[in-house]
A and B are shown apart, each in its own frame.
Chain A
Amino acid sequence: MSAAARRAALATTGVLVLLAGAEAVGRAGIAGPSWPPLSEVAAHLLDADRRATVVRAASATLASAAEGLLAGVLVAAAAAFTGLLLPPLRPGLDRLAALLHAVPVIALAPLLITTVGREATPTVVAGLGAGFVMFVAFSSGLSLGGRRSTHDDVFDALGANRVRRLLRLQLPASVPTVLDGLTLAAPAAVLGATIGEWFGAPRGLGVLIVSAMQNFQVTLLWSAAACATALSLAAYGLTTALQRAAVRRMA
């Protein structure tokens, strides 16, 4: 068996053991009535009507997460480039980003609902989560404040100006790091959107989770959670593939 096949077999075995364990716990009722057997959750999702509810909610969450991710990437890029062009602003930008990241979402939520509204809160929370990671990725990718490399020496000796250095060295060199950040930011955006929906959004997986919890619809609750996890994993898988392709091309 090749190394890759062995790894895949191990991973599959691990997942199966985990699923079987969860099923066993549910069937035995060890964790009480709020832990259903996974087969019941699967049956819930196989029912067309019930599935439609979950899928509708999931697509709303996906839309918020995607918008938030895009906004986070754009704002983070703008902030990093501001730091690149105006070096005196760099420490301030770093601290502002760290501060925004340090404020708990639960403290920001009431503020967001009164300012941007219930509809937009999931997008903004997703953007905050993704934006911080992307700001760090852009900053380190463009090696702001990093040590000089021999590339910098060559570009200096060849008389490169700032724009040409940015286009020919810093931007291409930053691509793998930025995409590395994206593999963290994409699942963070899904998580952010789901949490943002808790604070009274009209639809989405977060809303479904809250209402299922309050009405003690255990299988619905687990279905929604499974769906959120699947979205998050898909976002991670997609961005990781993108990152690997870029590393093959750029390094």
Chain B
Amino acid sequence: MAQTTPSPAPTLTVAPPAAVALSGVGKTFELSRGRAVSALEDLDLHVAEGEFVAIVGPSGCGKSTVLRMVAGLERPSTGTVVVEGRSPRELARSHRLGVAFQEHALLPWSSIRGNVALPFHLAGRPVDAARVDELVRLVGLEGFESARPRQLSGGMRQRAAIARALVLRPDVLLLDEPFGALDAVTRRRMNRELARIWSEERITTVLVTHDVEEALFLADRVVVMTGRPGRVRHVHRVDFPRPREAAITRSPEFHEAVDLLTGLLDAEGTA
């Protein structure tokens, strides 16, 4: 089922206009005394409308920087980042972006309902209580609406953060290791939940992770990055049918793909 798309050139041409397009993107961070480190170089990445793309790479390869540039939190030093035909900052300012990070970043003084409703307040729109309830239900937090974040487990907090990211029906969803701080069992369960939630919402999504299995289970395409400076090393198309069940992770195709991508990452580590 899963097959590798040979990609001689890192550029992948997609027929419909890309929802997220990074072209020739480079990022240099200034260090002290005029020294600089190149985090990304000549990176091309296109994500189609309604596509789920996962980025994996060795730590420090700049995969989070890619995500932060798409979110408008960093500016590229060279090249362009276009999201839904606009600059990322414009998209953020029009409240069309959903984000969830490794740190849940829920407001501790606010209830779960208040946290999920936050994007409505920040967009200056009346809170759609039905939509908030729908999201709370979708992430399986019904009954915990009035709880404070600190009263919930790590997994439940991440669910709330994902509900917050989805509540405004964003054009683009950006996930930076959202389950990175969770234990392996909770993490697998959260991945199954996210796959279910995603197949209901079908939002253009970019996920950054260091977990190859997570990437293969969730994404339509997995992008493997090289170490610093980060470039696209390999693009892997994942063809498991949706909605995906945990059973696919036990299939030989899945294991084969895991081995292939892990091998690519390891080769990078020893290079």
Contact = CB atoms under 8 A, between A and B. Distances in A.
Interface of A: 149-151, 153-160, 164, 168-169, 172, 175, 249-251
B95 A159 contact: yes
A243 to B, nearest CB: 15
Interface string B219-252: 0000000000000000000000000000000000
Q: Which 6 A-B pairs have the closest CB atoms?
A: A150-B105, A157-B99, A160-B122, A150-B103, A250-B109, A159-B93
A124 B266 CA distance: 68
B152 interface: no
Contact of B97 (A158, A249, A250): A158
Interface in B70-128: 71-73, 92-95, 97-99, 101, 103, 105, 107-109, 118-119, 121-124
B101 A150 contact: yes
A151 B107 contact: yes
A160 B122 CA distance: 5
Contacts of A153: 68, 71, 73, 99, 101, 105
The DSSP consensus for interface residues of chain A is: helix
Nearest to A153: B73
B98 to A, nearest CB: 8
Contacts of A160: 122
Given A157-B71, A250-B109, 9 more contacts: A149-B105, A153-B99, A157-B98, A158-B95, A158-B99, A168-B107, A172-B107, A250-B108, A251-B108
B212 interface: no
A151 B109 CA distance: 13
Interface residues of B, number: 25
A94 B99 CA distance: 35
Contacts of B103: 150
Interface of B: 68, 71-73, 92-95, 97-99, 101, 103, 105, 107-109, 118-119, 121-124, 150, 174
A159 B73 contact: no
Contacts of A250: 108-109
B101 A154 contact: yes
Contact of B122 (A159, A172, A175, A251): A159
B204 to A, nearest CB: 15
A147 to B, nearest CB: 14
A132 B199 CA distance: 56
A149 B103 CA distance: 10
29 contacts: A149-B105, A150-B101, A150-B105, A151-B107, A153-B68, A153-B105, A154-B99, A154-B105, A155-B122, A156-B72, A156-B73, A156-B92, A157-B73, A157-B97, A157-B98, A157-B174, A158-B92, A158-B99, A158-B119, A159-B94, A159-B97, A164-B122, A164-B124, A168-B118, A172-B109, A249-B109, A250-B108, A250-B109, A251-B109
A159 B71 CA distance: 10
A157 B101 CA distance: 11
Nearest to A160: B122
A251 to B, nearest CB: 5
A159 B121 CA distance: 11
B131 to A, nearest CB: 15
Of listed B71, B99, B122, B123, residue having the most chain A CB within 10 A:
B122
A164 B105 contact: no
Contacts of B93: 159
A249 B150 CA distance: 11
A73 B108 CA distance: 25
Nearest to B97: A157
Contacts of B101: 150, 153-154
A155 B71 CA distance: 11
A164 B121 CA distance: 8
A236 to B, nearest CB: 25
Nearest to A175: B109
A221 B132 CA distance: 65
